Amino acid sequence: MAGRALSGAFGRAGLAFLALVAFGSLANGAGGNPGFARLGPPDAPVKLFYEEKGKGPPLLLIHGFGASTYTWRHIAPQLARNHHVIAVDLKGFGQSDKPFDDRYSVLDQAKLLAQLIKDRNLRNLTVVGHSFGGGVALVLALQAKDRLKGRISKLVLLDTIAYRQDIPVFFRMLDVPVLSHIGVRMVPPALQTRIALRIAYFDNSKIDDDEVEAYAAPLRTAAGKYAIIHSARQIMPKGLDEIAAHYKTITMPTLIMWCDHDRIVPLDVGLKLRRTLPNASLRIVQGCGHMPQEEQPEATLGFLEDFLGSSRH
């Protein structure tokens, strides 16, 4: 288990997660044709925003905690030259619906995306997940032999959450209704975002005002605040230990990418995933913090394209 390592990292970065609640752009990020997919049960449907571009084998891009399709803006256009790229905003983030309910865990998110994969009849699919989105991707990969049989063929994990860790003070505060709402409202969204980026990035000179403003937008809405709070409260879903125990059954080709200076989810987690997943390779991205696709897009693209090329059959 990577509990102690993750606990230390998340404890030191408690403020980072408070700031990361601002990650989510209302503007198009990945480029391409935008649309909405109506998913979920008929009595509680959810509209998920997505952008798609390109032709070829499909790629599903899943952003991290509080992020949106905006996070893929540097690499999606290049990937779309040889792939059908679909970047989606998870429920509660970006331009997707933010209902006032309690279904915001990785399991809930994976259920919606599994329906999207089936509704769009996606096959030979590569699922790419970053951070929280990597946790969603792992759940989808676990369904590749039953519910999603014959659909997912490859998996890519970027600085992903994967194992249980001690709950840091920040998440304990979010379990207290009054404190959680006061905390999110007291700190200006732009300040929260800038603090988050300074912790998530290794090179702070790459942070610009446009990026800060884009990521700060969702915290200016009541629905956005609600979605962030309830997503954070479910950052570790029920049954996570049982889920993690099944990672060893994920036999598809898997690329694990990790920044060499990640202060949010430490490299130890990537190393453990590499030991656990039987058909996985690990690549270290030099000179980045927690967001390789944003801070080192060229290196990220290089590893991705090498993997996608070598794993084609």
* Model pLDDT, residue 90: 97
* Model pLDDT, residue 19: 39
Please write the tens of the pLDDT for every residue from 122-136: 999 999 999 999 999
Number of domains in the chain: 1
**Which amino acid is located at 216 in the chain?**
A
Task: Give the whole-angstrom CA distance, residue 285 versus residue 256.
Answer: 10
* Model pLDDT, residue 182: 52
* Model pLDDT, residue 171: 44
* Model pLDDT, residue 220: 84
User: Residues 289, 291, 296, 301: is their CA dihedral positive or negative?
Assistant: positive
Q: Which helix (H) or strand (E) holds 213?
A: helix 209-216
Under-70 pLDDT residues of the chain: 1-29, 165-185, 310-313
Task: Give the whole-angstrom CA distance, residue 84 versus residue 70.
Answer: 17
Phi and psi of 88, rounded to 5°?
-120, 145
Host domain of residue 23? 3-310
At 232, which CATH number? Answer: 3.40.50.1820
Please write the tens of the pLDDT for every residue from 152-168: 999 999 999 999 865 44
10 with 264: CB under 8 angstroms? Answer: yes
28 with 51: CB under 8 angstroms? Answer: yes
* Model pLDDT, residue 70: 92
* Model pLDDT, residue 199: 86
* Model pLDDT, residue 35: 96
CB under 8 Å to 262, separation ≥6 — which residues?
9, 159, 288, 289, 290
* Model pLDDT, residue 310: 60
